Amino acid sequence: MSSEGGAARSADVLGWYLYGVVAADASPNFETAGLAVDPAHDVELLAEGPLAGVASRVSLEEFDEAALTERIGDAVWLEQKIRAHEQVLERTLSAVSVVPCRFCTVYRSESELRRFLSERREPLQAALGRVTGRVELGVKAFVDRERFVAGQAPRNEEIRELRERSASLAEGRAYLERRRLEQLVSSEVERLRTTAGNDIHARLLARAGDGMPLTLQAPEVSGREQEMIFHGAYLVGEDERKFEAALGSLAAEYRDAGVEFELTGPWPPYNFVPEELRAS
């Protein structure tokens, strides 16, 4: 989060909330009425040289850095504002390429926002050139352990034997065999996470302009019970069909290992904007 200047001011003092940066000559025609983080103010384009900020007015009493410390603890407020931030960027992206700013990038005045656009002109233009005509796609891969064991049993003698013994022994000994099987499967899934992760990333990166592996998500974050074994983000342009074809091939190859893929997006290219360009 970013805010310029001193302490919070009264509600009638307005600052500028910056969603992202676009090319000034792009003249995007998109409808954002009612989408701003403060719906009382419309989203505007503030042109400064070759760049334009996608921005809207906000109350500094609500969005000042000091006030945000308390606001961030309000889950309802936070969800509403994050959704508005993302909706504005997604609507912008539907019309024109955009360098997205992080949530709650706030300037106290138009002149301070324009100074950011002017002082960071070269790196912002470079970032915009990198993402022009491209979107971010997310790829997640999950493994279903039961399907993984079923697929591995014909090829892994130790898994096959433990699986058969746990099904035929009396409860006490069967429990011990099941524990051994769980430990072995955990080890094999860890091996799969490494080998498959490297393979997936290399093959998708060959069909994208850029890409990076991301932190794996726990089930409570991913929303799925299956264990995540891969998570990546890719910058994709006109070769999107080739990228999706490569993902389809991977899905077919890893199906017998109990692996399922999830494609998300298109998103504003958050992961491909240098951190120093996300206004400070």
pLDDT digits 0-9 by tens, 171-225: 555 566 666 667 776 777 788 889 999 999 999 999 999 999 999 999 888 889 8
Lowest mean pLDDT among 20-29, 110-119, 176-185, 219-228: 176-185
pLDDT at 6 (0 to 100): 41
Q: For residue 1, is pLDDT > 70?
A: no
Residue type at 144 in one-letter notation: D
Task: Name the DSSP letter for residue 16.
Answer: E
Angle of helix 145-152 relative to helix 157-168, nearest 10 degrees? 110
CA distance 108 to 10: 12
Alpha carbon 27 to chain centroid, angstroms? 27
How high does pLDDT run on average in the chain? 83
* Phi–psi pair at 235, nearest 5 degrees: -100, 110
